[in-house]
Amino acid sequence: MRLGATLAHLSTAPPYAVTEWARRLAGAGFESLWAPEIVGRGGLVPDPFVALAAAAAVTDLEVGTATVQVPLHPPAELAHRIRSLQLVCGDRLTLGLSPGSTATDYALLDRDFHTRFRVFDENVARLRDLVSPPFLLGSWGANVEKAARRFDGWLASGYRRTPDEIVEALGRFRAAGGGRAVVCAVPATPDLGAVLARYAAAGFDDAVVVLDPDGPDPEQVRALL
């Protein structure tokens, strides 16, 4: 199982050195860097496309969104941002996409939270004609099978679900013929080593750990797997 890290410091107020942190994660041996889209909750979390462009310019790692809330953006505008990022990172970009799950983000941008699933399907269909990176679906419930059948892979949230729930859902994803499976936003809890070992044994392709400057050190986390 490959090990990645969340690029954004979710518990630290900006500014912070995105490029310095990306270099440190790469030097510690992480294999991918991921950035979320959070616009209406707490302090400023950097725009994922800006953060990933900075990281891609100073490392040779895979970079990914985890996730872009597709209904918040006009498809042509989102495609323009994706293709602009591709000019920096080339084929190292993976797109984690989701309908979103937080009403405050939608309220801030004057979008309708209740129609997000319909708008997501419509906008993803348009994006497929405009951009080429792999699409991973970040969602839950019946959408696990949808990720297997209609997307290049699945992003499971290690933050919102228990390991038992995540491993059970992975079985459904594999049974439906799913490809790449990534468990993302895995908290750096004291039992992180055991949690990562369980995800690896279950058959996840990647795990993405949330790290902050207060610890644990990236080098210690990387040594767990």
pLDDT by residue (tens digit) across 53-98? 999 999 999 999 999 999 999 999 999 999 999 999 999 999 999 9
Long-range contacts of 187-192 (CB under 8 A, 24+ apart): 187/158, 187/159, 188/212, 188/215, 188/216, 188/221, 192/216, 192/221, 192/224
Q: Percent of the chain at pLDDT above 90?
A: 84
Instruction: Report the mean per-residue pLDDT for the chain.
Output: 93
Q: What is the mean pLDDT of residues 185-202?
A: 96
Q: What's residue 13's pLDDT?
A: 58
Q: H or E stretch including 38?
A: none
Q: What's residue 80's pLDDT?
A: 98
The yes-or-no verdict on residue 183 having pLDDT over 60 is yes
| Confidence class for position 41, pLDDT limits 50, 70, 90 | confident
Domains of the chain from N-terminus onward: 2-222 (3.20.20.30)
Give dist(CA 31, CA 28) in Å, integer: 9
Q: Look at the pTM and tell me if it is higher than 0.85.
A: yes
| Confidence class for position 17, pLDDT limits 50, 70, 90 | confident
| Confidence class for position 40, pLDDT limits 50, 70, 90 | confident
> Is 211:220 a contact under the CB 8 Å cutoff?
no
Q: What's residue 141's pLDDT?
A: 92
Question: For the segment 129-147, what is each residue's pLDDT rounded down to a tens digit?
Answer: 999 999 999 999 999 999 9
Q: What is the mean pLDDT of residues 99-116?
A: 92
